[in-house]
A and B are shown apart, each in its own frame.
Chain A
């Protein structure tokens, strides 16, 4: 609602500053944020006549990466509104027929038979869903990230169909986009090979330039390619010989756009999967495929970056698709809990069931908030650096969906286990979320390394001095004294995040602030402890990533609920309660992780874990003697 921007205006800020303790640094902060609001008021002077008035993109620093340095971009706390009233209306009007179409899809049959019927394909094409992010000049719907996320909520209701749609949206060539937009051609993304799953840089498919230099010849095979059997158009990543800066030839990954009718492209039989069974997944073989040199995507040798960009751009929508699917599931489960009676009472009166529902609602709320915050950042920032945020959304949402679907099935009990009910299908479909688009383990490492890389640049000097205490005794003593003064267990809350939020989320924002400040100290400690080797300490990286994910989730949740409460949405009080509950839980998780990061080997089980794992691998399995064995 437009009234939200009025509320985040300057006339409310002086009220807040009168309440807080004055501090010269803080008033500087306020005047800078006030200047930002000034800008917004000026923009409103011109009446927004047509939808063609482009919103000026904001230059903001990367949010997630700066969390590692303790810099919290308070712009986030005003949950961004990307779509104006008209666009929102158009989106809602588009959503209704899509929802109706998805209700009519017989998901159970798709799951049983393992393929999507032609009517469904045609229906999707007619709705234009194959061209969601393709610009309108090529015949697509021209959605920005937020609209894409909104539609992902509905397409998630049949996971096989969602998989189909994600694979078709990435290319930017006018030659192919119109046909892809209408769905005449389907696209497939070919990266994975038998020997390279997570390790995408080690692809073995090879493309060699022909003698006359006009085309490339590609050889290799890719596995687990979605739409592999039905696609006409493939984005393939292959190794090519490239002359590097030193003048030597080295192997680098290049992205190619391959049409099936180039010849030499064959596919194997569709794989029988646990979930998303309607999605066609198969091996694709490339045998001496001639590719014209115009079909190289981007530059030769720049394929790896392109692969990462493509994967990043699709990741954040997993949050909203997970949320959309869970909202439906929770609705059905709540109906069941309200009417089913056991021990003389309806299920809804038992505390354990209430706990399950509340936790699920908090998780879904966090998922949605994170997904739409990331999509808003992608839409409103100039050159958005949101790879870390997208990865955070993906990790949190995939695990959230898996756990919540499992809980819904649990609430239904035996009924949930039966194939007659859709819960087991949703559970099986949800399992792939933790694996594809980057496994959660890899993404956690990615999140922490991106952050540590950014932090490392700024902290390089300090870390070097801390790691050489004998050479810098004065510095080490001073920094230890500073650290003790800052009181790691209970740092003084200097960020004053609650001044940017409604007072009803004050407690939650203070929890968030405390963990942000502690996180910064933990990052410094970690870098000082391990130095350059920090990239190998995966257990610590996992802790760092988990804290970062929780901090991002807390920020998203607190920002969204504050906005909802300010503009007076329905059930805004409930949103504040969800936000608060989520923040308290996240805070408890962060407490443990941060203690482990500060304490290092003294507080964690890392060494024991390594020892146990080593014994298991030496004995090729579980090696404790059987309890009944006698010597």
Chain B
């Protein structure tokens, strides 16, 4: 039963109990399975429905929701490229961005480069779908900041300052601002998207949609990268033929 992921139920328990008795290995094993298997079934914090939907859009929504779960303030938006004038493809785009990421984007200086990287596969049980990210280069702490953090005086209570008391211009000497979860060592992830077609054109449309809430994007230079420091990339296609098929492993049952 455990090889095929079948949870025991009351009838099986009654059968095994009647055949093998209360004190034998089979009953004990079954009771242990009854205890642990439901637990493991529900253990994943990223719950997926029992049957993964076959439609690409639904799978994309699940994928973006899962990726955005690192930041509770993530908002998932679904765009249709038909709303844009210049779009060649007619497809949906599921995009996930949180308020924190928007702030990080807004803080980027003019002419900085941001990369649209992809497509990376994400697996939801036995289904995979490709997604793209908008990434900017990582900003390591400046020398000054690093020195200040190392020398932060935790013992000094003579000058307690706080924003609550109305004191402005709190410097690095008073508080340490932790980096958000989006700022990683290999880059700052600014947004995540899954498109119906994995084409360059759909990505362009995505950028256009992002510009509505992130006006600073217009000042940045956007590069469509074929390599990525984040991992192996399935390159975006040039043509507009819809190709983002959901790959499924179909030899065994879909768990």
Kindly count the residue-residue contacts between A and B in the assembled complex, taking CB atoms under 8 Å apart.
Answer: 62
Is B73 located at the chain interface by the 8 A CB criterion? yes
Residues of A within 8 Å of B164, CB to CB, are 343
Contact with A along B94-113 (1 / 0, CB 8 A): 00000100000000000000
CB nearest neighbor in A for B38: A568
- Residues of chain B from 32 to 82 with CB closer than 8 A to chain A in the complex: 34-42, 47, 72-73
Report whether B10 and A44 are in contact in the complex, using a CB–CB cutoff of 8 Å: yes
Cα(A570)–Cα(B49), bound, Å: 13
Cα(A344)–Cα(B164), bound, Å: 12
Residues of B within 8 Å of A566, CB to CB, are 35
Residues of A within 8 Å of B18, CB to CB, are 45
- Residues of chain A from 341 to 373 with CB closer than 8 A to chain B in the complex: 341, 343-344, 346, 348
Report whether A3 and B42 are in contact in the complex, using a CB–CB cutoff of 8 Å: no
Is B149 located at the chain interface by the 8 A CB criterion? no
Report whether B27 and A3 are in contact in the complex, using a CB–CB cutoff of 8 Å: no
Report whether B47 and A570 are in contact in the complex, using a CB–CB cutoff of 8 Å: yes
Is A273 located at the chain interface by the 8 A CB criterion? no
Contact with B along A1-39 (1 / 0, CB 8 A): 111011101111000000000000000000000000000
Knowing A2-B10, A348-B72, A568-B35, the reply to whether A11 touches B40 (Cβ < 8 A) is: no
Is B230 located at the chain interface by the 8 A CB criterion? no
Is A418 located at the chain interface by the 8 A CB criterion? no
Report whether A2 and B9 are in contact in the complex, using a CB–CB cutoff of 8 Å: yes
Classify the interface of chain A: helix, strand, loop or mixed: helix
Cα(A240)–Cα(B47), bound, Å: 63
CB nearest neighbor in B for A339: B73
Knowing A6-B10, A6-B34, the reply to whether A568 touches B73 (Cβ < 8 A) is: no
Report whether A10 and B10 are in contact in the complex, using a CB–CB cutoff of 8 Å: no
Report whether A11 and B28 are in contact in the complex, using a CB–CB cutoff of 8 Å: yes
Interface residues on chain A, number (Cβ under 8 Å): 28
Q: How far is the CB of A563 from chain B (nearest CB, A)?
A: 12
Report whether A3 and B17 are in contact in the complex, using a CB–CB cutoff of 8 Å: no
Is A612 located at the chain interface by the 8 A CB criterion? no
Cα(A112)–Cα(B178), bound, Å: 47
Knowing A44-B14, A47-B11, the reply to whether A3 touches B22 (Cβ < 8 A) is: no
Report whether A41 and B17 are in contact in the complex, using a CB–CB cutoff of 8 Å: yes
Interface range on chain B: under 10, 10 to 19, 20 to 34, or 35 or more? 20 to 34
Report whether B31 and A567 are in contact in the complex, using a CB–CB cutoff of 8 Å: no
Which of A47, A339, A344, A568 has the most chain B CB atoms inside 10 A of its CB? Answer: A568
Knowing A9-B31, A11-B27, A45-B14, the reply to whether A3 touches B163 (Cβ < 8 A) is: no
Cα(A11)–Cα(B27), bound, Å: 9
Is A209 located at the chain interface by the 8 A CB criterion? no
CB nearest neighbor in B for A341: B99
Is A308 located at the chain interface by the 8 A CB criterion? no
Report whether B14 and A568 are in contact in the complex, using a CB–CB cutoff of 8 Å: no
Is B13 located at the chain interface by the 8 A CB criterion? yes
Q: How far is the CB of B38 from chain A (nearest CB, A)?
A: 3
Cα(A561)–Cα(B211), bound, Å: 48
Is A539 located at the chain interface by the 8 A CB criterion? no
Is B235 located at the chain interface by the 8 A CB criterion? no
Is B121 located at the chain interface by the 8 A CB criterion? no
CB nearest neighbor in A for B162: A343
Contact of A1 among B11, B17, B38 (CB under 8 A): B38
Q: How far is the CB of B74 from chain A (nearest CB, A)?
A: 9
Interface residue ranges, A against B (CB under 8 Å): 1-3, 5-7, 9-12, 41, 44-45, 47, 338-339, 341, 343-344, 346, 348, 566-572
- New A-B pairs, 19, CB < 8 Å, besides A7-B35, A339-B99, A570-B47: A1-B38, A3-B34, A6-B31, A6-B34, A7-B31, A11-B23, A11-B27, A11-B28, A41-B14, A44-B14, A45-B18, A341-B99, A343-B163, A568-B35, A568-B37, A568-B38, A570-B42, A571-B42, A572-B39
The contact sample of 25 A-B pairs, CB cut-off 8 A, is A1-B38, A2-B9, A3-B7, A3-B8, A3-B9, A6-B31, A6-B34, A9-B31, A11-B22, A41-B14, A41-B17, A44-B10, A44-B14, A338-B72, A338-B73, A341-B99, A343-B164, A344-B163, A346-B73, A568-B37, A568-B38, A568-B39, A569-B38, A570-B42, A570-B47
Interface residue ranges, B against A (CB under 8 Å): 7-11, 13-14, 17-18, 22-23, 27-28, 31, 34-42, 47, 72-73, 99, 163-164, 177
